[in-house]
Amino acid sequence: MSRRPTGETEKEFKARMWKAKTDIWKSHSRDDHPIFAVEERLDKVATRIGKCSAQTIPGLAVKARHVAEYGLNVGDWLEPRDQLDWDKLVIRDLIENLCGLAGVDRYGQPVAGDAMV
């Protein structure tokens, strides 16, 4: 696990980690691994979901889950609520509430009654 050097801000650390990740991905040919083909197909689906208008509550939940998957970092779901920045907390709450309204969690699995999303 990478550690943040003393004096490096969280924003600088995240930028450095993002660059390292993208450098690794860019260093591999798209033909190197079958995951790239799957990723390409998923990107097309995600793009279509992003362009569609939600017409129903379940459709709105699909859009919210799309934002959860493509618009937030994994850490935004793993961090305790009291440690999130305000803007990330608001987005997370909105996604959880929209999914809850449709009766699903952020993975699209049914939730019972007032269960936490």
Q: pLDDT of 52-110, one tens digit each?
A: 888 899 988 988 888 887 777 777 778 888 888 888 888 889 889 999 999 998 888 89
The structure's pTM equals 0.56
Name the H helices within 1-117.
10-26, 35-51, 57-70, 75-78, 86-102
The pLDDT of residue 112 is 75
Q: Is 113 left (phi over 0), alpha (psi -120 to 50) or beta?
A: left
For residue 108 the two structure tokens come to 């699209």
Sequence ranges of the domains in the chain: 10-51, 56-117
Does residue 117 register a pLDDT over 60?
no
The pLDDT of residue 88 is 84
